[in-house]
Amino acid sequence: MLLTELPPPPGAHEVAGLRARARNARRSALVALSTSIALQATAQLLADRAATREQTLPLAVLSLAVFVVALPTLAATQYVWGARARHVRRRERELYADVPSGRVRPLSRICVACCWAVTLLLGWTSPRFFRQAAWYAFADALNWAAEALAVLSLSAGVLFLLWWAREALEMLTRVRRPGGSPGDPWDPGSGARRGEGAVLWTGAIVAVAALVGARAHLWEPATGVVYGLLTVALVCGVVTDE
């Protein structure tokens, strides 16, 4: 009987299920990131182009609301992603005496950190739009809150960089270490990962980057193009199926 015809050993299906749950958590975290950045950038772009104070106010409120909702949502989804990924690695080590090298993990973490930075930078500009809408007292209070959040964010950023550098050095040391277990031949591994969502994720990333670039005044798209980019970012992110 061929090896591939034998039934998988205990634990193989469990690991496959754990990996699927981790991929779903990763997808939720990335969708939350792309959606929050796209909505904030679009609301602020349109607020910049508003002709009157009355038109600016609802867009300013929308931008602030997205920012307030995004912070706990991003924290929760990324915590779940990290917890499930750690659970997968622990179970893989128990069953197969080895885990994937995870060489792209430091890169993915720094990319997520950059997305956090963009989200925070967009949120810190919210007071200006309320000032344009003539809500001066609220804008001053919001500006004070943004300054306090900026101090906390910078402190968290420094701690993240220290932790990230330590993890990257430890991973580099493990990669260079000779020997190690070859792993279990029954390990289901990542297998042939489904690639149907690659194009959609690429479209979402390009659309979000274009909106952020427009918000930074790197280019000046028409209002219709802005709505089109927002639609592409939301649709590509939501319908992506890994």
Judge contact between 165 and 109, C-beta under 8 A. Answer: no
Q: What is the pLDDT of residue 117?
A: 93
Distance of CA 102 to CAs 92, 98, 168, Å? 13, 12, 10
d(CA 211, CA 218): 10
Judge contact between 125 and 44, C-beta under 8 A. Answer: yes
Question: Would you say residue 182 lies in a domain?
Answer: no
Q: What is the pLDDT of residue 187?
A: 53
Question: Would you say residue 59 lies in a domain?
Answer: yes
Distance of CA 14 to CAs 5, 8, 22, 181, Å? 19, 11, 12, 21
Q: What is the pLDDT of residue 240?
A: 61
pTM of this structure? 0.85
Q: What is the pLDDT of residue 6?
A: 57
Question: Would you say residue 78 lies in a domain?
Answer: yes
DSSP sequence for 158-190: HHHHHHHHHHHHHHHHHHHS-------TT---S
pLDDT tens for each residue of 67-126: 999 999 999 999 999 999 889 888 888 877 666 656 677 788 888 999 999 999 999 999
Distance of CA 233 to CAs 37, 85, 100, 153, 242, Å? 10, 26, 31, 26, 17
Q: What is the pLDDT of residue 181?
A: 44
- Give me the residues of the chain with pLDDT under 50, please: 1-3, 179-183, 190-193, 242
Question: Would you say residue 198 lies in a domain?
Answer: no
- Taking every pair of Cα atoms in the chain, the longest distance, rounded to a whole number of angstroms, is 78
Question: Would you say residue 112 lies in a domain?
Answer: yes
Question: Would you say residue 95 lies in a domain?
Answer: yes
Structural domain boundaries enclosing 55: 9-175
Token pair 């910078």 is found at 154
Q: What is the pLDDT of residue 88?
A: 87
Question: Would you say residue 185 lies in a domain?
Answer: no
